[in-house]
Structure 1
Amino acid sequence: MAPVVERRVARGVAVTAGGAYDGVLARVLSAFKDEGRMALAAPLADLLRAALEAAEWAGEPVVTVPTTRAAFVRRGFRPVDVLAREAGAEVARILVARGRRADQRGLNRVQRAANLADGFGVRGRPAARSGVFLVDDVVTTGATIAAARGALRSAEIEVRGVAVVASTPRRKYTAPGA
């Protein structure tokens, strides 16, 4: 899988992705996350590294979006942490999930934002004082990224950029009868 870097703005946040979340990339990411196929970490990390570099990452610590407790128990690992480390980044695990969240899959744009309202907190500070990069696996509507970035900003931590492995293709809404 060769990187095809895409930049987009999701909920007012500039996000750089290493590829489009469809076809082969969607299946590979799912096999890594949900089936624990760790051999797929390297090619996925290559996409994340391409996104980080395109976003002008200069080695700052990365803050990964935390997985839900239920997903961690089910998988036994934190996929985004694994990918960030494999991409060569120092992971600062300071962003924590608060409360109970539903799985974002299957929720619409409004439901995703409501699901994440006050969904993250910050525990500690990164070792570097020059800011951090926020990293996740997939950006869909941007609700998760916006909530995570908001929590970091509230803790007065500068978010210098946002990178993800993949970005879902944007779909245009056509009103019925149009």
Structure 2
Amino acid sequence: MKRVRLLCDNGITKVPRKYVLPLPDRPQLTPAARKPSLKLPVIDVGQLLLPDRTEVLETLDRACKEYGFFQMVNHSIAGEVTRRMIDVGKRFFELRFEERAKYMKTDDELEGLQVLHRGEWITVEPLPNSVIVNVGDHLEIHSNRRYKIVLHRALVNTSKSRLSMASLHGLSFDRVVHPSPELVDKDHPRLYKDTD
């Protein structure tokens, strides 16, 4: 399937039918029909460095259990770094398809991220200069499903362009992930096999 940007570059004026979701499956984009927004728990990295970090650890635990996401502030990633990343990202996606295709592989301040929370798609309200973090496979396995992966999606915006930059972090390929022994007992049996 051709990428949407390639179709736009070639002068398409109407979205092909195969890209259009059935009406009941479409995300709610108009303000009147929009679902409630969600303020994700905020984790202040500076608080994690204090001797008494009980409160922030409890917030982090609750965020991972209830939402599978949180926003991280005071993360020491310089504003200039994120501004440059966004600038490079925008310039990249403005290139013609043939230029971008050289880098393609086959394998969040404008609203657009939604998370499935208690059966509803909720729009996340982004905080300026924050990094949104979500629980991944390794943490779900290591926590013996105390923390769960949460379904999420991104919406397009009809009036402004939106740029997301995902940074995936995990263990090295030669490491084995398994439930932490401290989280396995007779009331909480082991739910996962060892996996790489």
Which TM-score band (shorter chain)? under 0.3
Q: TM-score, normalised by structure 2?
A: 0.26
Higher relative contact order (CA 8 A, sep 6+): 1
Larger Rg: 2
Higher helix share: 1
Higher strand share: 1
